[in-house]
Amino acid sequence: MTSSRYTYLGPEGTFTEAALRTLPEAATRELVPMVSVPAALDAVRNREAGGALVPIENSVEGGVTATIDELASGRPLMIYREVLLPIAFALLVRPGTELSEVKTVTGHPVAQPQVRRWLERHLPQAQWESAASNADGARLVQEGRYDAAFAGEFAAATYGLHPLVTDIHDAENAATRFVLVGRPARPSSPTGSDKSSVVLWLRDDHPGALLELLQEFAARGVNLMRIESRPTGGGIGQYCFQVDCEGHLSDRRVGEALMGLRRLCAGVRYLGSYPRADGGRPQLRVGTSDEAFLAANDWLNRCFDGRGELPGEVP
Amino acid sequence: MTSSRYTYLGPEGTFTEAALRTLPEAATRELVPMVSVPAALDAVRNREAGGALVPIENSVEGGVTATIDELASGRPLMIYREVLLPIAFALLVRPGTELSEVKTVTGHPVAQPQVRRWLERHLPQAQWESAASNADGARLVQEGRYDAAFAGEFAAATYGLHPLVTDIHDAENAATRFVLVGRPARPSSPTGSDKSSVVLWLRDDHPGALLELLQEFAARGVNLMRIESRPTGGGIGQYCFQVDCEGHLSDRRVGEALMGLRRLCAGVRYLGSYPRADGGRPQLRVGTSDEAFLAANDWLNRCFDGRGELPGEVP
Amino acid sequence: MTSSRYTYLGPEGTFTEAALRTLPEAATRELVPMVSVPAALDAVRNREAGGALVPIENSVEGGVTATIDELASGRPLMIYREVLLPIAFALLVRPGTELSEVKTVTGHPVAQPQVRRWLERHLPQAQWESAASNADGARLVQEGRYDAAFAGEFAAATYGLHPLVTDIHDAENAATRFVLVGRPARPSSPTGSDKSSVVLWLRDDHPGALLELLQEFAARGVNLMRIESRPTGGGIGQYCFQVDCEGHLSDRRVGEALMGLRRLCAGVRYLGSYPRADGGRPQLRVGTSDEAFLAANDWLNRCFDGRGELPGEVP
Amino acid sequence: MTSSRYTYLGPEGTFTEAALRTLPEAATRELVPMVSVPAALDAVRNREAGGALVPIENSVEGGVTATIDELASGRPLMIYREVLLPIAFALLVRPGTELSEVKTVTGHPVAQPQVRRWLERHLPQAQWESAASNADGARLVQEGRYDAAFAGEFAAATYGLHPLVTDIHDAENAATRFVLVGRPARPSSPTGSDKSSVVLWLRDDHPGALLELLQEFAARGVNLMRIESRPTGGGIGQYCFQVDCEGHLSDRRVGEALMGLRRLCAGVRYLGSYPRADGGRPQLRVGTSDEAFLAANDWLNRCFDGRGELPGEVP
């Protein structure tokens, strides 16, 4: 059964695998590393897997464009879950290597800016060369090509290496956000602490178009959590926007904002509503609760019958 | 049958009667002049009349506050029709009076600023005194109290007077707008050229509260036609707003804007949707037609099933 | 010397005179009652008086349109001071008259809605007829034309009447706001508790024009205190707006907002900055103090030299 | 003289070098390839070079985060010029190699998505492996490590290779935008076709903060050209924004918008104003020209003297 298989951005031993293993259902799935984000997602599109875990955002490096662009184009996919993984690297060496012997280090290009200051302080002479992934870097150390690799401490065992230094991270609060992606279906059930994601294409590029788009959220009291502009491929100056907002599709304010965007925009791709990994809850502005929406709807229906106003309803 | 009776702001022979007689159904109704706007409207509230025609706005003098305040307070009423009457005064005199003999003139206080320049030019020495209504002024001329009265030409016959000069109006395009008011019931049917009226009470007087209110209209592409601030009676600085906007309650964009106001405001009194006397039609902004609203609603419903996106729907 | 003369909306014994006498400088001026707001203001325009005190707003009746329209049109005038007068009527009768003997009452039309409920409760049978002013009503009682007049208690002595009942007012907090108007000159000095008034003509009547106008204030954190739409005389649907906002012309945020309006609007008439009668002070939004404006201006100047950024100025 | 030296993102033979050579002054400068964007920019910071040309945006891959992040942090730099280079790849092979013999291809990771569809059509079996740069890929082909490299046609000669296929680009209008960066100094002179760049840090992350930021531009009629959110490094959910807008620092509307942002934001880094490579000119909204700003400023100054209104200035 393919739905019992989850792909992820491999190889084995990367942070993505560590993130995937934090999901309870991972224990009962076959976890398959893939060589790239597109490969992991295409396996889902082609029904060879039931889900794929891929990184979407890093607090140091920013959006993972391969993921964002794959979600925005091609056959539709949806996000069902997000995972926040604090990022801390270990410096993996072959057993016996000492810090003073490390002349060459490797790791994923994304790792480099996250350990740059540590390197300057502790290994100022070391030569950096990029590897295809952190895990791949570990393998290259195993093979003797480099002296040390930055990777997750959990990768040491896989490659027979020793974590010489652990918990390396230049930035406090460094974290990577991953999303569990599946084929379109019912969104995850609302939990009260949810977010929703969409991709938006502006209808035309008039001044103020982006402002109008944001006002569709603001007018309904829906808070924006992230906005990422991406080129559409149509030339410099042509962008679409991936937006995360607070709340669930089934929240009235979110539903109305999304319908507003659908009317305003040239295109809207709904990417799902799912529990927030940070557990945060929206600060509701007065008049934006589901109750307020339903009461307003009742009132409108009564207006159609000339019974809009109940005694005492206006000051 | 009281519903066969229409009250209006009397006395007979005023512009209000002339406006009322432009309505086809006036021919089959008993038309009853009342001494004041509140009296005309209370007759409707008390089921002594089926409707009342009262002035609401004059292009020279502005809003008729008695009407606006009566609609905003007390038992609810609704507007079902509006009438635009170009304003032109006749100078009514007792037969035989010549212009050079006119030393005293009268008329409703509202008439004065509309004929001031004409008076300065043609009767610079004449003394003005206000009458309770234009028709009442005519009566006072009939009784010999004044030499001439400004009133509608149609009032001459009623009072046995002669229209010495006609078509007097300082301002081009001078007009008065009247509304036909009834007890709350189904709004008039949509015609494609409609307006809707509401009274709005802000929830609190924070800076930007009025801006938020207007954005509820703007966010749905609903054009404002008029906004009139009125004191709530709660002290200087406490206002409510009577607003006319383009479109009918049954237009989706209008309904959603009104629901937005209902959620945002401390109180909303819906005063009805009715055909525009000027015959104007809204310039719909892209994405604000009923079709666009329905399509967005369909889309949202599909999103709930994971079928939000049809092939080719995003760029 | 005409500047030693102040006109006011007469006749003697009205609330306007009472308001004027609250101003310290009134003690040293010749106070001249005039028959109308235009007459009081024209005396200033024609240099026959140094100032004029006229009512501009009543918490029950709303804006005094004669004043608003006079300020908006004709030769420019400016407001230098405002006075808030709590409104309480006395029922003035000829000495010896008892309440049960009062069959007819009079007063200014504006007084009526402010004593209506009192009348219903205490003199339900009494007949109301309007007078040209509250003081004029008192005079008519003195002459025996009516049994009682609503006026300020201070008018009793002038007309030899007895204040049978005092402190009559339907609404709590009922007040009238008056303005002291003079010929254009330097605005009053800033006090920290100021307001500024302008009249605004929209450039064209496109949808959202009013919203844009309000955003000029909002974008600079300037709070609106009052907005009054008035017909321009150009026909139904043509309005200008009189706006009061918090702050003084010399406050940077106010000056920039007014310049923004000047650029946006077809016309702006500055009506002055003057101390607030309510003593209120603006709640400044972050970044809208004069210091913030000056710091931003310094920064911009430095940017022109490539020295925009001082060490540590960006996060 | 270091100011006669320009660094660029090397190695030789990359598109960056080609872009740099389109600048007239490149002919008289020593052009020095650097191994990375940070290295190229640090040479400028350290006064070892007068300028650095680095890529900032690609119409397929999006923003070049290394460049954006370097400009946003560290010692200030400014942009003085931008270059738009249409992107078309050549497939470089060792002389004699035929298309059917190509089993392995290489190139910069950024190149891959831009030739993916061409590869699928013409070399569906070929194995892709990434190189550190397009030029480095060419070198690896020269050394025999791969059969073919995607690079600029201009790189062929440098590496003794043959451009087997030219003008390869999946997307129409594919282009890369480069910026010439120097130490802070006077911005480039205004040309009438300019853009300005800033980095903005929000003061706090309240809902609507981004909207407020965009309104500072919109309120002055300044069009946004690009907005790129970047993590601040402070954790998931902490972003700064790099924004390009139309116009020059010396345009009044731009200056006022930037001062508004400076007041509103926790930090603003001005990155310069420079000629637009696309030659576009702003569509000025009414009331946003320099003349309109100056006229409004004159008016405000006159208001301070009571001479705000010239005859005929209000409707």
D and A touch per CB criterion (3+ pairs under 8 A): yes
Domain spanning A187-315: which superfamily? ACT domain (3.30.70.260)
Which chain D residue shows the shortest CA-CA distance from A86?
D235
Mean pLDDT of chain B: 92
Each residue's pLDDT tens digit, C263-275: 999 999 999 999 9
- Where does the pLDDT of residue B206 fall: very low under 50, low under 70, confident under 90, or very high at 90 and above? low
Which chain C residue shows the shortest CA-CA distance from D304?
C186
Which chain A residue shows the shortest CA-CA distance from D245?
A207
Partner-chain residue, chosen from D58, D132, D210, that has the shortest CB–CB distance to A227? D210
Instruction: Identify the pLDDT of residue C2.
Output: 67
- pLDDT (tens, 9 = 90+) of chain A, 315 residues, equals 467 999 999 888 889 999 999 999 999 999 999 989 999 999 999 999 999 999 999 988 899 999 999 999 999 999 999 999 998 999 999 999 999 999 999 998 878 888 989 999 999 999 999 888 888 899 999 999 999 999 999 889 989 999 999 999 888 888 999 999 999 999 999 999 999 999 999 987 666 788 889 999 999 999 999 999 999 888 888 899 999 999 999 999 999 999 999 999 999 999 999 999 999 999 898 899 999 999 999 999 999 999 988 887 777
Closest approach of D76 to chain A, Cα-based (Å): 19
Element (H, E) at A301: helix A290-303
Each residue's pLDDT tens digit, B136-155: 899 999 999 999 999 999 88
| DSSP structural state of residue A204 | S
Partner-chain residue, chosen from A219, A295, A306, that has the shortest CB–CB distance to B219? A219
Question: What's the longest Cα–Cα distance across chain A?
Answer: 86
Instruction: Identify the pLDDT of residue D207.
Output: 64
Query: Could you state, in order of their start, the residue ranges of all structural domains in chain B?
Result: 1-86+174-185, 89-168, 187-306
CATH number of A1-87+170-185: 3.40.190.10
**Which residues, numbered 27 to 56 in chain C, qualify as contacts with chain B under a Cβ-Cβ cut-off of 8 Å?**
none
Instruction: Identify the pLDDT of residue C111.
Output: 85
Q: Taking the mean position of all CA atoms in its chain, how far away is CA C109?
A: 19
Instruction: Identify the pLDDT of residue B127.
Output: 94
Instruction: Identify the pLDDT of residue B2.
Output: 67
The answer to whether A292 contacts chain D (CB < 8 Å) is no
Most confident stretch, B30-44, B120-134, C166-180: B30-44
Closest approach of B212 to chain C, Cα-based (Å): 9
| The model's pTM | 0.91
Instruction: Identify the pLDDT of residue C236.
Output: 87
Cα gap B185→C16, rounded to integer Å: 45
**Which residues, numbered 226 to 245 in chain A, qualify as contacts with chain B under a Cβ-Cβ cut-off of 8 Å?**
232, 240
Question: What's the longest Cα–Cα distance across chain D?
Answer: 86
Partners for D (CB, 8 Å, 3+ pairs)?
A: A, C
* CATH 3.30.300.20 is the classification of domain D1-86+173-185: no
Each residue's pLDDT tens digit, C208-229: 788 889 999 999 999 999 999 9
Share of chain C above pLDDT 90, in %: 76
**Which residues, numbered 193 to 212 in chain A, qualify as contacts with chain D under a Cβ-Cβ cut-off of 8 Å?**
207-208, 210-211
Chain A residues touching residue D120 (CB < 8 angstroms): none
Instruction: Identify the pLDDT of residue D108.
Output: 87
* Binary contact (C263, D288; C-beta < 8 A): yes
Partner-chain residue, chosen from B59, B65, B285, that has the shortest CB–CB distance to C236? B59
Q: Which range (A12-16, B35-39, B242-246, C247-251) has the least confidence? A: A12-16
| DSSP structural state of residue C187 | P
Each residue's pLDDT tens digit, C286-300: 899 999 999 999 999
The answer to whether C128 contacts chain B (CB < 8 Å) is no
CATH of B1-86+174-185, one of 3.40.50.300, 3.30.450.20, 3.60.150.10, 3.40.190.10: 3.40.190.10
| Token couple for A134 | 């952190």
Among B59, B73, B200, the strongest candidate for a mutation testing the C interface, having the largest count of C CBs within 10 A, is: B59
* Binary contact (D237, A215; C-beta < 8 A): no
Chain B residues touching residue A250 (CB < 8 angstroms): 304
Strand pairing report for B104-107 and B127-130:
parallel
Residues C129-143 have a mean pLDDT of 90
Instruction: Identify the pLDDT of residue C313.
Output: 78
Instruction: Identify the pLDDT of residue A207.
Output: 65
Each residue's pLDDT tens digit, A69-82: 999 999 999 999 99
Which chain A residue shows the shortest CA-CA distance from B182?
A306
Q: Decide: helix, strand or coil at residue B102.
A: coil
SS (H, E, C) chain D: CHHHEEEEECCCCCHHHHHHCCCHHHHHCEEEEECCHHHHHHHHHCCCCCEEEEEEEECCCEECHHHHHHHHCCCCCEEEEEEEEECCEEEEECCCCCHHHCCEEEECCCCHHHHHHHHHHHCCCCEEEECCCHHHHHHHHHCCCCCEEEECCCHHHHCCCEEEEEEECCCCCCEEEEEEEECCCCCCCCCCCEEEEEEEECCCCCCCHHHHHHHHHHHCCCCEEEEEEEECCCCCCCEEEEEEEECCCCCHHHHHHHHHHHHHCCEEEEEEEEECCCCCCCCCCCCCCHHHHHHHHHHHHHHCCCCCCCCCCCC
Asked, colleague to colleague, whether C1-86+177-185 and C89-168 share their fold, the answer is: yes
**Which residues, numbered 64 to 93 in chain D, qualify as contacts with chain A under a Cβ-Cβ cut-off of 8 Å?**
65, 69, 84
Peptide bond before D11: cis, by omega within 30 degrees of 0? yes
Closest approach of B305 to chain A, Cα-based (Å): 5
Cα gap B162→A51, rounded to integer Å: 91
CATH of C187-284, one of 3.40.50.300, 3.30.70.1450, 3.30.70.260, 3.40.50.2300: 3.30.70.260
C and B touch per CB criterion (3+ pairs under 8 A): yes
Which chain B residue shows the shortest CA-CA distance from C208?
B218
pLDDT at C250 over 60: yes
Element (H, E) at C201: strand C194-201
Cα gap C37→C16, rounded to integer Å: 11
Instruction: Identify the pLDDT of residue C207.
Output: 65
Cα gap B19→B8, rounded to integer Å: 10
Partner-chain residue, chosen from D232, D256, D303, that has the shortest CB–CB distance to C315? D232
> Which architecture, in CATH terms, is B187-306?
2-Layer Sandwich (3.30)
Mean pLDDT of chain C: 92
Chain C residues touching residue B210 (CB < 8 angstroms): 214, 224, 227
Q: Decide: helix, strand or coil at residue B58.
A: strand
Partner-chain residue, chosen from A258, A264, A309, that has the shortest CB–CB distance to B269? A309
Integer CA distances (angstroms), D91 to A273, D100, D141, D148, D175, in order: 44, 13, 11, 6, 18
* Residue D52, number of CB atoms within 10 A of its CB: 29
Cα gap B214→C211, rounded to integer Å: 6
Instruction: Identify the pLDDT of residue A72.
Output: 96
Number of inter-chain CB pairs under 8 A, A vs B: 133
Partners for A (CB, 8 Å, 3+ pairs)?
A: B, D
Instruction: Identify the pLDDT of residue D300.
Output: 96
The answer to whether B292 contacts chain A (CB < 8 Å) is yes
* Binary contact (C210, B214; C-beta < 8 A): yes
Partners for B (CB, 8 Å, 3+ pairs)?
A: A, C
| The residue count for chain C | 315
| Residue C289 exposure: Cα atoms within 13 Å on the Cβ side | 6
**Phi/psi-derived region of residue C305, left when phi > 0, alpha when psi is between -120 and 50, beta in every other case:** alpha
Cα gap B191→B108, rounded to integer Å: 35
Phi, psi of C172 (to 5 degrees): -60, 150
List chain D residues with pLDDT less than 50.
1
Instruction: Identify the pLDDT of residue A2.
Output: 67
Q: Which of D63, D79, D69, D67 is nearest to D180 (CA)?
A: D79
Q: Which range (B106-115, C116-125, D46-55, D255-264) has the least confidence? A: B106-115
Chain A residues touching residue B44 (CB < 8 angstroms): none
* Binary contact (A233, D208; C-beta < 8 A): no
Q: Is A297 exposed, middle or buried (0-12, 13-18, 19+ CB in 10 A)?
A: middle
**Helix A209-218 crosses helix D209-219 at what angle (to 10 degrees)?**
140
pLDDT at B1 over 60: no
Cα gap D159→D179, rounded to integer Å: 26
Instruction: Identify the pLDDT of residue B134.
Output: 84
Instruction: Identify the pLDDT of residue A3.
Output: 78
Among D15, D37, D59, the strongest candidate for a mutation testing the A interface, having the largest count of A CBs within 10 A, is: D59
Instruction: Identify the pLDDT of residue C283.
Output: 87
Buried b (16+ CB within 10 A) or exposed e, D214-232: bbbbbbbbbbbbbbbbbbb
Partner-chain residue, chosen from D63, D130, D236, that has the shortest CB–CB distance to A57? D236
Domain spanning C89-168: which superfamily? Periplasmic binding protein-like II (3.40.190.10)
Among C71, C259, C271, the strongest candidate for a mutation testing the D interface, having the largest count of D CBs within 10 A, is: C259
Cα gap B31→B10, rounded to integer Å: 10
Chain B residues touching residue A203 (CB < 8 angstroms): 286-287
Partner-chain residue, chosen from C177, C230, C234, that has the shortest CB–CB distance to B236? C177
Cα gap A43→A204, rounded to integer Å: 34
Among A70, A216, A236, A286, the strongest candidate for a mutation testing the D interface, having the largest count of D CBs within 10 A, is: A236
ipTM of the complex: 0.90
CATH of D187-309, one of 2.40.160.40, 3.90.1300.10, 3.90.1150.10, 3.30.70.260: 3.30.70.260
pLDDT at B89 over 60: yes
Strand pairing report for C194-201 and C239-246:
antiparallel
CATH number of C1-86+177-185: 3.40.190.10
